[in-house]
């Protein structure tokens, strides 16, 4: 099953956060809790799947000379649509993610996949790629959010599991984002090294 | 005085990279050498200042009067992409030496989220203007201050990484992992500036 | 199907077509979502008014149409006989830790604070962002933990006085204790706390014309 492989590939071998190192801004900024990480991941996945589908569908109609501006317009439209939908139906998440929703436009993952994958493959493969990369991104963000929330506010998905006096606030703040991601990356590397 | 506070706040207290998380990609990507870091910082200052002037004008004289707020993202990103392209051409003709210095960074800037991010913040007046009215002038001051903050963070970080390159780190920590943890410690150091802007404001009797 | 060539005509037509298509699609989505968005914003204000005036009380009430003045928005709330229950005031302080801090605070007709809610803020998560709960926590429920943890981590700090519900800015010094006031600041977030209390005092002043903090020291309300 080739399509299945594409999806798995996006989650592990080409994980956008841990392997491709793309889209770092939302990864660090929005993962103060597992729920926020999940929300950002799903929002990005939505845009990624839509833009991959659209671009793969119309790849032959877009001349090479204007392909980047066309991709940007397509991505920006999906992002704006998403922004309005979130504002209407999940206002709390919209408020928390704030400026990072319009900034999905400049997330290198989306333009990168449009250029490297969707423009060269058929529509089904492009959708699978969107799903795979999207899930990979979502998993990474949720994991990062989970660790930061647990250490920083002693909670798991908003449920308090440790007394507040044991909170290490720094993990919710900016430095904690860098340090947690650095350590998670080191763990991923050491697993990879052991396999090799 | 308030303008000075905007500078202090944007460079040290609420540094765009280390506390607002905008422009992380170039921060991690082009920070291996101090020279390139300084070049990138200069290019961002240039583009961001021009971008804020253009996007602020568009927001106030086109989008808002015609009730087209929902086209903000799409219009801003196109303007920024076009602007970068135009700057590249102008620089090439007018100042070849500057073009040589900034040329390679310009194409990277379109996808630098600190440009689009700050443009949106200024257009929506959701940045910290230190109590001033969010006009075009404060917006431009904020944009310049932010990009200096970006450059400062980038150059300091490049300095650390130049030293780091000579150190033996554990195999799993090599590359991005150790860079991220270093960035975390730098962010921690910058947190020490917390409240400095308010202290100055009080001292100046504002 | 063959790929379109990159000549000027093709490029211009395709780019224009995509831009027009995108703008059209967005206009449609905007049209579809503007209703729900407005409903949600209205509901947020309405819930805010209900929670800051009524709290847990369950009584019939009506809200007069809002009155705006000098950047404040006043919502008068009446019971079903038309008697004034209280006024909810939207108030903004521009100098929070990360920018503006917008709150809604409810006063009864005598000026006693019935409740408050934070509408918009850009404070640090985990620190200043606690404002939404901090200023209504009664001293007793500040911190409670098992005895074993007391031994392990030491006793939690003595509960301070930071519950502003029931205070009256006309009689009480609504400033942080550092400035000689009656309210303890959020731990490690004095700037947010000061901004919050300034917003409360400003709301009271806009409604009643004076505050106790004003009369005692002009200095503390300035910084």
> In the structure encoding, which two tokens stand for residue A9, read together?
């590939």
Which structural domain, as residue segments, surrounds residue C201?
Answer: 51-222
Contacts across the A-B interface (CB distance below 8 Å):
119
**pLDDT (0 to 100) of residue C223:** 38
Residues with Cβ within 8 Å of C137's Cβ and at least 6 positions away in sequence, in order, are C162, C163
**pLDDT (0 to 100) of residue C220:** 42
**pLDDT (0 to 100) of residue C145:** 60
Of A25, A176, A187, the CB nearest to B25: A25
In chain C, which residues have their Cβ closer than 8 Å to the Cβ of B70?
26-27, 29-30
**pLDDT tens figures, C178-195:** 777 778 888 777 888 888
pLDDT confidence bin for C218, thresholds 50/70/90 = very low
Q: Could you tell me if C158 and C137 are in contact, meaning their C-beta atoms sit under 8 angstroms apart? A: no
Residues with Cβ within 8 Å of B171's Cβ and at least 6 positions away in sequence, in order, are A189, A190, A193
Least confident of A79-83, B186-190, C107-111: C107-111
Q: Which residue has 């506010």 as its token pair?
A: A153
CB of A182 less than 8 A from some CB of B: yes
> In the structure encoding, which two tokens stand for residue A18, read together?
């841990």
**pLDDT (0 to 100) of residue C9:** 83
Q: CA of B111: how far to CAs of B92, B176, C134, in Å?
A: 21, 20, 40
Domain parsing of chain A, residue ranges: 2-195
Question: Nearest to residue A45, comparing CAs of A113, A93, A94?
Answer: A113
**pLDDT (0 to 100) of residue C149:** 63
In chain C, which residues have their Cβ closer than 8 Å to the Cβ of B74?
22-23, 26
| Count of other CB atoms within 10 angstroms of residue A183 | 17
For residue B105, pLDDT over 60 is answered with: yes
Helices (H), chain C: 8-53, 131-134, 147-153, 190-208, 212-216, 218-222
Question: Nearest to residue A21, comparing CAs of C70, B27, C197?
Answer: B27
**pLDDT (0 to 100) of residue C146:** 64
- B184:A175 CB<8 A: yes
- Say if C29 falls within a structural domain: no
**pLDDT tens figures, C63-101:** 888 888 878 888 888 888 878 888 889 888 887 777 788
**pLDDT tens figures, B119-163:** 998 998 888 777 778 889 999 999 999 999 999 999 999 999 999
In chain C, which residues have their Cβ closer than 8 Å to the Cβ of A61?
4, 14
pLDDT confidence bin for C142, thresholds 50/70/90 = very low
| SS3 (DSSP) at A63 | coil
- Say if C193 falls within a structural domain: yes
> In the structure encoding, which two tokens stand for residue B8, read together?
């202090």
- C69 - beta bridge partners? C72
Decide which of C202 and B98 is more confident: C202
In chain B, which residues have their Cβ closer than 8 Å to the Cβ of A77?
74
ipTM of this complex prediction, to 2 decimal places: 0.87
Q: Could you tell me if B27 and B37 are in contact, meaning their C-beta atoms sit under 8 angstroms apart? A: no
For residue B184, pLDDT over 60 is answered with: yes
- C99:B71 CB<8 A: no
CB of A24 less than 8 A from some CB of B: yes
For residue C167, pLDDT over 70 is answered with: yes
Nearest-Cα residue of chain A relative to residue B127: A99
Least confident of A77-81, B48-52, B138-142, C126-130: C126-130
Q: Is C180 left (phi over 0), alpha (psi -120 to 50) or beta?
A: left
If one counts the domains in chain B, the total is 1
Mean pLDDT of chain B: 87
pLDDT confidence bin for A138, thresholds 50/70/90 = very high
Which structural domain, as residue segments, surrounds residue B198?
Answer: 2-203
Interface with chain A: mutation pick from C17, C18, C159, highest number of A CBs within 10 Å = C18
Q: How far is C112 from chain B (nearest CA, A)?
A: 29
Indicate the pTM of the whole model.
Answer: 0.83
**pLDDT (0 to 100) of residue C222:** 40
DSSP string spanning B140-204? HHHHHHHHHHHHHHHHHHHHHHHHHTTS---GGGTTHHHHHHHHHHHHHHHHTTTTHHHHHHHHT
- Considering chain B, what percentage of its residues have pLDDT values greater than 90? 31
For residue B6, pLDDT over 70 is answered with: yes
Angle between helices B113-123 and B136-164 (to 10 degrees): 150
- Considering chain A, what percentage of its residues have pLDDT values greater than 90? 38
CB of A87 less than 8 A from some CB of C: yes
CB of A60 less than 8 A from some CB of C: yes
**pLDDT (0 to 100) of residue B189:** 93
- C98:B128 CB<8 A: yes
- Interface chains of chain A (3 or more CB pairs under 8 Å): B, C
């Amino acid at each position: 099953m080739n399509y299945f492989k594409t999806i798995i590939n996006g989650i592990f071998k080409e994980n956008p956060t841990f392997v491709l190192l793309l889209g770092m801004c939302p990864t660090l900024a929005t993962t103060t809790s597992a729920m926020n990480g999940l929300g950002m991941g799903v929002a990005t996945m939505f845009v990624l799947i839509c833009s991959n589908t659209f671009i793969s569908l119309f790849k032959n109609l877009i001349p090479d000379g204007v392909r980047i501006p066309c991709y940007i317009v397509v991505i920006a439209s999906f992002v704006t649509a998403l922004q309005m939908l979130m504002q209407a139906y999940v206002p709390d998440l919209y408020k928390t993610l704030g400026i990072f929703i319009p900034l999905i436009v400049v997330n290198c993952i989306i333009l990168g996949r449009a250029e490297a994958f969707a423009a060269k493959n058929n529509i089904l493969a492009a959708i699978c790629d969107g799903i795979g990369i999207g899930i990979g991104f979502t998993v990474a963000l949720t994991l990062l959010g989970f660790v930061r929330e647990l250490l920083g506010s002693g909670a798991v998905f908003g449920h308090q599991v440790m007394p507040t006096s044991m909170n290490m606030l720094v993990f919710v703040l900016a430095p904690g984002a860098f340090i947690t991601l650095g350590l998670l990356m080191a763990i991923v590397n050491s697993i990879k090294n052991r396999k090799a | 005085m308030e303008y000075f506070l905007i500078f202090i706040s944007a460079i040290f207290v609420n540094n765009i990279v280390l506390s607002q998380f905008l422009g992380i990609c170039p921060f991690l990507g082009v920070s291996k050498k101090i020279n390139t870091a300084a070049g990138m910082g200069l290019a961002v200052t240039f583009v961001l200042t021009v971008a804020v002037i253009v996007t602020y004008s568009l927001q106030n004289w086109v989008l808002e009067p015609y009730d087209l707020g929902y086209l903000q993202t799409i219009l801003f990103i196109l303007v920024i992409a076009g602007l970068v392209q135009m700057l590249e051409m102008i620089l090439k003709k007018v100042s070849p030496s500057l073009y040589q210095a900034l040329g390679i960074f310009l194409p990277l800037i379109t996808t630098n989220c600190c440009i689009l991010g700050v443009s949106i913040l200024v257009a929506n007046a959701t940045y910290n203007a230190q109590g001033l009215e969010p006009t075009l002038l404060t917006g431009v001051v904020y944009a310049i201050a932010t990009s200096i903050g970006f450059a400062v963070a980038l150059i300091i970080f490049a300095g650390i990484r130049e030293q780091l390159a000579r150190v033996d780190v554990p195999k799993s920590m090599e590359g991005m992992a150790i860079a991220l943890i270093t960035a975390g410690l730098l962010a921690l150091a910058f947190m020490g500036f917390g409240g400095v802007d308010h202290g100055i404001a009080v001292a100046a009797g504002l | 199907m063959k790929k379109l060539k990159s000549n000027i005509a093709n490029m211009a037509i395709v780019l224009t077509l995509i831009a027009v298509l995108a703008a059209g699609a967005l206009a449609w989505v905007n049209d579809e979502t503007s209703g729900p968005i407005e409903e949600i914003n209205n509901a947020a204000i309405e819930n805010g008014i209900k929670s800051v005036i009524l709290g847990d009380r369950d009584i019939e009430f009506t809200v007069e149409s809002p009155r705006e003045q000098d950047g404040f928005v006043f919502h008068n709330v009446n019971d079903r006989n038309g008697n004034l229950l209280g006024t909810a005031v939207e108030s903004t302080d521009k100098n929070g830790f990360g920018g503006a801090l917008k709150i809604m605070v409810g006063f009864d007709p005598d000026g006693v604070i019935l409740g408050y809610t934070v509408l918009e803020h850009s404070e640090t998560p985990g620190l200043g962002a606690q404002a939404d709960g901090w200023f209504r926590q009664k001293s007793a429920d500040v911190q409670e933990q098992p005895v074993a943890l007391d031994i392990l981590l030491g006793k939690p700090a003595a509960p301070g006085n930071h519950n502003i519900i029931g205070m009256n800015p006309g009689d009480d010094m609504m400033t942080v204790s550092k400035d000689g006031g009656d309210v303890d600041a959020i731990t490690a977030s004095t700037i947010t706390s000061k901004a919050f209390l300034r917003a409360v005092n400003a709301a009271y002043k806009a409604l009643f014309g004076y505050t106790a903090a004003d009369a005692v020291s002009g200095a503390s309300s300035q910084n």
